[in-house]
Amino acid sequence: MKIKDFVIPTKISEAYEFAHSLGQSAYYIAGGTSAYFVQANAEKVAIDISKLPLFGITAKRDSFRIGALTTISDIMKKEEDGFILNRAAKKFVNQQIRNISTIGGNIARVFYWSDFPVVLKTLDGKIKITGFDSKILKISDVFHNSTTHKEAIGNAIIEYIEIPRLLKNMGFSYSKETRISSGFSSATVASFIELKDNKIKDVRITIGSVFIFPMRLFELENSLKGEPADFSIFNKINFNLLDKYKFNPRDGMSLEYCKHLVKTRIKDVLVESLKEALGEK
């Protein structure tokens, strides 16, 4: 990427208006870690948004609001009942990148290895996006697919995300497979389970890395809803429901191995989520 100009706005409206006037050549810099992955000959005007007031994690009664400029390191350090993004932050590459990379930057542009889009799509919640107007949208709508994501964000600024607090009858787990310890993901799987009357009331499963854009497995989820909160149900998962998806194996994996890995990890995260929902961990 060639930077032909550089501005440092201090107001969200100023940053957006500038980006809007530039169109395709505008490039917000938050942590700046993705600049490396932008086409080498692309000419951009960098809009450094790191001075905008979008920092920090605010605990609310049923949720947590995370400013877009909050670093992955700060998310990792946050310890509070019901806050679970720190689990994904611990699996994020290495401390150097965690120190610089922001949650907004991680979800504004989705690479196959991006951790937080997979996690947020599973937890759902809200996202505030500001262009000429501000909108608060459901994360699941924005991250439905790459088109909805592109349309919702465009050149606008993500201000914050708000995710639900994990309550007593709920469980969450995130699995990330890499070939070497700080390598890009070969397969990521996140799951969430909510119990009611000792049955699975809600279950969400999202797969990343092996698809271009993270994918929720709605049919598989539906097949588990209403089942008893018993680990044996995971031995009967109908994995044929995955046959219709086009997998992109990474790191030289064969397609067969890739599918096998994903199935194994789905089971693992579901077991961990159920354990937590049952209060066993």
Q: How far is the CB of 85 from ligand FAD (least distance, A)?
A: 12
Q: Is 67 in the site for ligand FAD (CB under 6 A)?
A: no
Distance of CA 82 to the CA centre of its chain: 17
Among 9, 12, 33, 192, the residue binding ligand FAD under the rule CB under 6 A is: 33
User: Which of residues 106 and 173 has its CB atom nearest to ligand FAD in the complex?
Assistant: 106
Judged by CB under 6 A, the residue of 16, 64, 83, 92 near ligand FAD is 92
Contact status: 249 vs ligand FAD (CB under 6 A):
no
Beta bridge partners of 59: 64
Q: Does 29 bind ligand FAD (CB under 6 A)?
A: yes
247 binds ligand FAD (CB under 6 A): no
- Closer to ligand FAD by CB, 33 or 206: give it: 33
Does residue 160 interact with ligand FAD by CB under 6 A? Answer: no
Per DSSP, the residues of 213-275 read S-EE-HHHHHHHTT-BS-GGGGGG--GGGGTTS-----TT--HHHHHHHHHHHHHHHHHHHHH
**Count of residues making up the chain:** 281
Cα distance between residue 262 and residue 214, in whole Å: 13
Check if the beta carbon of residue 45 is closer than 8 Å to that of residue 7: yes
Count of residues near ligand FAD by CB under 6 A: 30
165 binds ligand FAD (CB under 6 A): no
Stretch that binds ligand FAD, among 1-9, 94-102, 241-249, 268-276 (CB under 6 A): 94-102
Q: Which residues pair with 6 in a beta bridge?
A: 46
Dihedral of alpha carbons 95, 86, 187, 272, sign: positive
- Interaction of residue 171 with ligand FAD, rule CB under 6 A: no
- The distance in angstroms from the start CA to the end CA of the chain is 46
The reply on whether position 174 binds ligand FAD by CB under 6 A is no
Q: Find the shortest distance in angstroms from Cβ 267 to ligand FAD.
A: 23
Does residue 93 touch ligand FAD according to CB under 6 A?
yes
> Is 105 among the residues that bind ligand FAD (CB under 6 A)?
yes
For residue 243 the two structure tokens come to 């046959």
Regarding 111 and contact with ligand FAD (CB under 6 A), the answer is yes
Give the residue, chosen from 12, 108, 195, 262, that forms a contact with ligand FAD under the rule CB under 6 A: 108
The type of residue at 221 is E
**Alpha-carbon span 145 to 143, nearest angstrom:** 5
Q: Which is nearer to ligand FAD, 135 or 168 (CB)?
A: 135
Identify residues 42-61 at the interface with ligand FAD (CB under 6 A). Answer: none
Listed ranges 76-84, 93-101, 242-250, 260-268: which one lies at the site for ligand FAD (CB under 6 A): 93-101
Q: 194-199 contacts: CB < 8 A, separation 24 or more?
A: 194/169, 194/170, 194/277, 195/169, 195/170, 195/229, 195/277, 195/278, 196/169, 198/228, 198/229, 199/226, 199/227, 199/228, 199/229
Applying CB under 6 A, which residues contact ligand FAD? 27-36, 68, 92-93, 97, 100-102, 104-106, 108-109, 111, 113-115, 157-158, 184-185
